[in-house]
């Protein structure tokens, strides 16, 4: 006997998408890889860049979340979590239609951090490929929501797919995918021998000799994503990068920084179960960050970017931008 | 409505309650300042916390032996000691000791909340006074605690004034000093009229049978000192081998509970006695003539078998993690059952056996991991929550976690 009915349905919806479509949003195969079309990255390389679901589907996620939040605030909200998928049908919401609309509008404009990350790695002389439509979903969400058997099975498949392509090293960028690839998948695989690094580790190792200058003088603050700072332990790397860029003044919150950083409210599918509460937490975090007087909030996670943007919007703090660390570095390199 | 739907409604109502948020944002700011200052003033605490982690890890593995040893020590000290396997057994033992028609003054005890002790004693026909100010407010509001150390953390002074005005029948202003004085006046005589005083314990030394009671108000000293009988209910996870261990656990507990140095720490090992007349030992001098200590298991020895979830038993109940939880900051104890937040989900499942509530709480945890950064004994809340979700969804038998591995 199991108790899968005790998993809030917002999460089972996402988990089902991993199983059926190999990405958390259930969009069709290959949609996510569009961002890299013009970049002509090779598929067959020993080192690959792992883009993950988050950034690739960010624009879809934002539309979907704003919709979910509207429903969650309405009178029928309590029904929402009973069955997200069913509820979408009931209201006539066509999730894949929303994705299509967004895709035709700008083909993944929100995947800019990915394009910038690729340019940065290129400039640093890193040789790497990208699996594009063959990149698997890391499956980390399955683990976090408690579906460990499904996760273990998925991990075997992911590992086999990566190994069959002769891959030896992975450079991840989404914090949770990177943690899953680096820590969780190895726990499920005997003799695991893939090396996994995070983008910001590669960058912090490579930039010391470079002259980096941001196009203008600017005050920025840094928001640590939970999985990057507390799971992967990357506290200094992003700060070292930001401090190396001329023109950038790093202003931090007094207490809630580094390992004490406050979660943006978007952790582990939480936003799908408690959309409105998640937004309240996003507002709280955005408030802490703008109290530093920063003009740009730099972070390094697609979930955090989405949350913080929503938080700033609610606070009507239109003058403050949210950018990914990869975007900042690309601009500072002039690429 | 399903448990989850009802729960979601409750926490969303809390999240929209500006007073809760205001009260908590003040509490969080003051907690962080006080604790950081306390750790700066007594920097040895951080190293001591590492020792305490080790003490707790070992003690949790031998709770049953320690309980046995503590019982023998207390009996040697002429107290009475009991081991209760379940909550029902604990209630039955206490019920028989108390009987009915008694006046009882009580110190705050989360273990008491766990088994709904006050309600049980009232049903038996006793009059029970919570003497901790926060708990007194909660009792009079017919509410439930919203924080393990500051149960009335969500109630602003205006509401307290209104409540106390109703009780006293005179119009009281929301002046905190005056409200505190009112509570003192309302409770003062009760300590001396009471038949029984009740308490929990923050930590217990098994070798000497000594209970450590940490407090600031002085209500516990009075409640456990003035009445002729003292009954203490203690969760078995509070046991450590020696008096020396217990000192360390106590100091780390109060420092992370932002007390710096608490006003009072009472050490109770037996009933009151004197030998001042002809060296004849006589019990019940100025303090209680009888001391009864009930060590309660209620699922703890089972929980101790789970390699990850057993961390919940290392908890010192300092409450620090709650101040670092972003969800707790807007919902207070509504994100909880008998205990709160992520670690509360573990207690709901393993101790309260309330699987649906446990699932609701487990999926409210962000797994952000900041609670661990605060925790003096480095309990990994996120790791426990993920392990608990696995236990819940894969349908392993929670009552026998050893079989689930």
Domain boundary assignment for chain A: 4-59+107-203, 210-333
Strand partners, B274: B282
Residues of B in contact with A263 (CB under 8 A): 326, 366, 368, 370
Per-residue model confidence (pLDDT) at position A100? 45
Distance in Å from the first CA to the final CA of chain B = 33
Provide mean pLDDT across the span A189-205: 96
Q: Do B394 and A148 touch (CB under 8 A)?
A: yes
Backbone torsions φ then ψ of A316, nearest 5 degrees: 55, 35
**Residue A3 touches partner B, C-beta closer than 8 Å:** yes
Per-residue model confidence (pLDDT) at position A81? 43
Q: Chain A: residue nearest B327 by CA?
A: A281
Handedness of CA B105, B111, B113, B115 (dihedral sign): negative
**Residue A183 touches partner B, C-beta closer than 8 Å:** no
Backbone torsions φ then ψ of B304, nearest 5 degrees: -65, -20
In angstroms, the separation between the Cα of residue A216 and the nearest Cα of chain B is: 34
Q: How confident is the model at residue A261 (pLDDT cuts 50, 70, 90)?
A: very high
Q: Do A8 and B4 touch (CB under 8 A)?
A: yes
**Tokens matching residue A135:** 């990149």
pLDDT tens per residue, range A272-294: 889 899 999 999 999 999 999 99
pLDDT tens per residue, range A4-37: 788 887 787 778 888 777 777 677 666 678 888 8
ipTM over 0.95: no
Backbone torsions φ then ψ of B130, nearest 5 degrees: -75, 130
In angstroms, the separation between the Cα of residue A82 and the nearest Cα of chain B is: 8
Residues, chain B: 405
Taking a C-beta distance cutoff of 8 angstroms, is the pair A5, B392 a contact?
A: no
**Tokens matching residue B174:** 């929301």
Residues of B in contact with A6 (CB under 8 A): 4, 355-356, 359, 392-393
Q: What DSSP assignment string belongs to A246-258? A: EEEEE---SSSSG
Q: Over 60: is that where the pLDDT of A76 sits? A: no
Q: Do A3 and B373 touch (CB under 8 A)?
A: no
Backbone torsions φ then ψ of A46, nearest 5 degrees: -70, -30
Which residues in chain B show pLDDT less than 70? Answer: 1, 396-405
Per-residue model confidence (pLDDT) at position B243? 98
- DSSP reduced 3-state for A234: coil
Q: Do B394 and A149 touch (CB under 8 A)?
A: yes
Among the partner residues B2, B8, B373, nearest to A260 by beta-carbon distance: B373
**Residue A263 touches partner B, C-beta closer than 8 Å:** yes
In angstroms, the separation between the Cα of residue B297 and the nearest Cα of chain A is: 27
User: How many C-beta neighbours within 10 Å does residue B232 have?
Assistant: 25
Q: Do B366 and A274 touch (CB under 8 A)?
A: no
- Non-local (6+) Cβ contacts of B123 within 8 A are none
Among the partner residues B356, B370, B386, nearest to A144 by beta-carbon distance: B386
- Tell me the C-alpha to C-alpha distance, in Å, between residue B276 and each of A292, B228, B279, B287: 67, 19, 6, 15
Q: How far apart are CA B172 and CA B288, in angstroms?
A: 36
**Tokens matching residue B119:** 């309600």
How many angstroms from the chain centroid is the CA of residue B130? 13
Provide mean pLDDT across the span A254-261: 96
Taking a C-beta distance cutoff of 8 angstroms, is the pair A54, A301 a contact?
A: yes
pLDDT tens per residue, range B50-102: 999 999 999 999 999 999 999 999 999 999 999 999 999 999 999 999 999 99
User: What is the widest separation between alpha-carbon atoms in chain B?
Assistant: 70
**Tokens matching residue B283:** 């019990």
Q: Do A267 and B356 touch (CB under 8 A)?
A: no
Q: Over 50: is that where the pLDDT of A103 sits? A: no
Per-residue model confidence (pLDDT) at position A83? 43
Q: Determine how β-strand B210-215 pairs with β-strand B264-268.
A: antiparallel
Every domain of chain B and the residues it spans: 3-41+302-404, 64-298
Residues of B in contact with A81 (CB under 8 A): 4-5, 8
Residues, chain A: 335
Q: How far apart are CA A271 and CA B327, in angstroms?
A: 12
Write the class of the CATH domain B3-41+302-404.
mainly alpha
Q: Determine how β-strand B264-268 pairs with β-strand A296-299.
A: unpaired
- Tell me the C-alpha to C-alpha distance, in Å, between residue B154 and each of A198, A330, B380: 42, 47, 26
Q: What DSSP assignment string belongs to A158-195? A: HHHHHHHTT--EEEE-SHHHHHIIIIIHHHHSTT---E
Residues of B in contact with A262 (CB under 8 A): 326, 370
**Residue A270 touches partner B, C-beta closer than 8 Å:** yes
User: How many C-beta neighbours within 10 Å does residue A191 have?
Assistant: 6
Average pLDDT of chain A is 86
**Tokens matching residue A106:** 């700008």
Is 0.80 surpassed by the pTM of this model? yes
Backbone torsions φ then ψ of A93, nearest 5 degrees: -85, 130
Interface with A, mutate which of B393, B404, B405 (most A CBs under 10 A) = B393
Taking a C-beta distance cutoff of 8 angstroms, is the pair B343, B321 a contact?
A: yes
Per-residue model confidence (pLDDT) at position A82? 38
pLDDT tens per residue, range B228-264: 999 999 999 999 999 999 999 999 999 999 989 999 9
For residue A100, give the nearest of A28, A154, A148, A157 by alpha carbon: A28
Q: Which CATH fold topology does B64-298 show?
A: Rossmann fold (3.40.50)
**Tokens 């002809």 sit on residue:** B278
- Residue A252 Ramachandran class (φ > 0 left, ψ -120 to 50 alpha, else beta): beta
Least confident interval from A74-83, A133-142, A252-261, B230-239: A74-83
Q: Which CATH fold topology does A210-333 show?
A: Rossmann fold (3.40.50)
User: How many C-beta neighbours within 10 Å does residue A216 have?
Assistant: 9
- DSSP reduced 3-state for A299: strand
| Complete edge-to-edge strand list for the sheet that includes strand A47-50 | A47-50, A169-172, A195-198
As a three-state string, the secondary structure of chain B is: CCHHHHHHHHHHHHHCCHHHHHHHHHHHHHHHHHHHHHHHHCCHHHHHHHHHHHHHHHHHHCHHHHHHHHHHHHHHCCCEEEEECCHHHHHHHHHHHHCCCCEEEECCCHHHHHCCHHHHHHHCCCEEEECCHHHHHHHHHCCCCCCCCCCCCCCCHHHHHHHHHHHHCCCCCCCHHHHHHHHHHHHHHHHHHCCEEEECCCEEECCCCEEEEEECCCHHHHHHHCCCEEEEEEEHHHEECCHHHHHHHHHHHHHHCCCCCCCEEEEECCCCEECCCCCCCEECCCCCCEEEEEEECCCHHHHCCCCCHHHHHHCCCCCHHHHHCCCHHHHHHHCECCCEHHHHHHHHHHCCCCHHHHHHHHCCCCCCCHHHHHCCCCCCHHHHHHHHHHHHHCCCCCCCHHHHC
Q: Do A276 and B5 touch (CB under 8 A)?
A: no
**Tokens 């009988």 sit on residue:** B229
Backbone torsions φ then ψ of B393, nearest 5 degrees: -75, -30
Q: Determine how β-strand B264-268 pairs with β-strand B80-84.
A: unpaired
């Amino acid at each position: 006997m199991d108790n899968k009915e005790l998993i809030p349905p917002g999460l089972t919806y996402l988990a089902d998408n991993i199983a059926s479509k190999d990405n958390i949003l259930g969009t069709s195969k290959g949609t996510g890889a569009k961002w890299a079309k013009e970049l002509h990255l090779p598929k067959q390389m020993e080192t690959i860049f792992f883009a993950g679901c988050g950034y690739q589907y960010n624009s879809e996620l934002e539309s979907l979340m704003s919709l979910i939040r509207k429903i969650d605030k309405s009178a029928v909200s309590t029904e929402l979590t009973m069955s997200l998928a069913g509820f979408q049908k009931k209201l006539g919401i066509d999730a894949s239609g929303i994705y299509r609309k967004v895709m035709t509008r700008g083909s993944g404009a929100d995947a800019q951090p990915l394009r910038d990350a690729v340019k940065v790695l290129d400039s640093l002389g890193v040789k790497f490929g990208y699996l594009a439509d063959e990149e698997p979903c890391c499956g980390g969400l399955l683990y976090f929501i408690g579906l460990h058997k499904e996760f273990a099975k998925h991990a075997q498949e992911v590992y086999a797919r990566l190994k069959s392509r002769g891959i030896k090293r992975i450079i991840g960028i989404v914090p949770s995918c990177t943690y899953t690839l680096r820590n969780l998948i190895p726990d499920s695989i005997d003799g695991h021998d893939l090396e996994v690094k995070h983008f910001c580790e590669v960058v912090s190792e490579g930039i010391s000799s470079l002259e980096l200058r941001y196009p203008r003088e600017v005050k920025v603050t840094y928001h640590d994503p939970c999985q990057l700072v507390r799971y992967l332990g990357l506290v200094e790397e992003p700060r070292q990068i930001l401090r190396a860029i001329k023109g950038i003044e790093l202003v931090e919150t007094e207490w809630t920084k580094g390992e004490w950083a406050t979660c943006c409210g978007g952790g582990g599918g939480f936003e799908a179960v408690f959309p409105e509460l998640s937004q309240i937490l996003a507002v709280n975090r955005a408030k802490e960050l703008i109290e530093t007087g920063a003009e740009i909030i730099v972070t390094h996670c697609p979930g955090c970017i989405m949350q913080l943007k929503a938080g700033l919007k609610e606070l009507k703090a239109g003058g403050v931008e949210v950018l990914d660390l990869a975007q900042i570095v690309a601009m500072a390199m002039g690429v | 409505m399903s448990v989850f739907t009802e729960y979601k409604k409750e926490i969303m109502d809390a999240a929209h309650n500006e007073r809760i948020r205001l009260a908590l944002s003040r509490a969080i700011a003051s907690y962080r300042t006080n604790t950081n200052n306390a750790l700066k003033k007594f920097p040895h605490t951080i190293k001591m916390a590492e020792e305490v982690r080790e003490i707790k890890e070992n003690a949790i593995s031998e709770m049953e032996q320690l309980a046995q040893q503590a019982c023998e020590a207390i009996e040697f000290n002429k107290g009475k000691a009991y081991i209760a396997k379940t909550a029902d057994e604990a209630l039955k033992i206490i019920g028989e000791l108390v009987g009915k028609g008694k006046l009882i003054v009580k110190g705050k005890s989360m273990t008491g909340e766990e088994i709904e002790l006050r309600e049980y004693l009232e049903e038996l026909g006793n009059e029970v006074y919570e003497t901790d100010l926060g708990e007194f407010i909660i009792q009079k509001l017919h509410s439930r605690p919203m924080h393990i150390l500051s149960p009335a953390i969500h109630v602003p002074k205006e509401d307290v004034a209104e409540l106390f005005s109703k009780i006293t029948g005179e119009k009281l202003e929301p002046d905190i000093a005056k409200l505190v004085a009112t509570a003192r006046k309302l409770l003062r005589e009760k300590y001396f009229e009471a038949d029984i005083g009740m308490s929990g314990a923050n930590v217990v030394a098994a070798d000497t049978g000594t209970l450590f009671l940490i407090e600031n108000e002085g209500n516990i000293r009075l409640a456990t000192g003035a009445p002729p009988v003292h009954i203490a209910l203690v969760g078995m996870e509070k046991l450590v081998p020696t008096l020396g261990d217990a000192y360390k656990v106590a100091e780390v507990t109060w420092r992370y509970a932002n007390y710096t140095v608490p006003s009072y720490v009472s050490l109770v090992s037996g009933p009151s006695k004197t030998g001042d007349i002809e060296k004849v030992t006589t019990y019940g001098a100025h303090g209680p003539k009888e001391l009864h200590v009930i060590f309660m298991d209620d699922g703890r020895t089972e929980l101790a078998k789970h390699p990850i979830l057993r961390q919940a038993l290392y908890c010192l109940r300092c409450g620090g993690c709650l101040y670092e939880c972003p969800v707790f900051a807007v919902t207070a104890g509504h994100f909880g059952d008998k205990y709160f937040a992520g670690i509360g989900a573990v207690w709901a499942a393993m101790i309260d056996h309330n699987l649906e509530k446990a699932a609701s709480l487990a999926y409210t945890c962000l797994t952000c991991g900041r609670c661990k950064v605060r925790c003096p004994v480095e309990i990994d809340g996120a790791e426990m929550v993920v392990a608990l979700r696995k236990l819940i969804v894969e349908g392993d038998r929670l009552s026998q976690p050893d079989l689930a591995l």
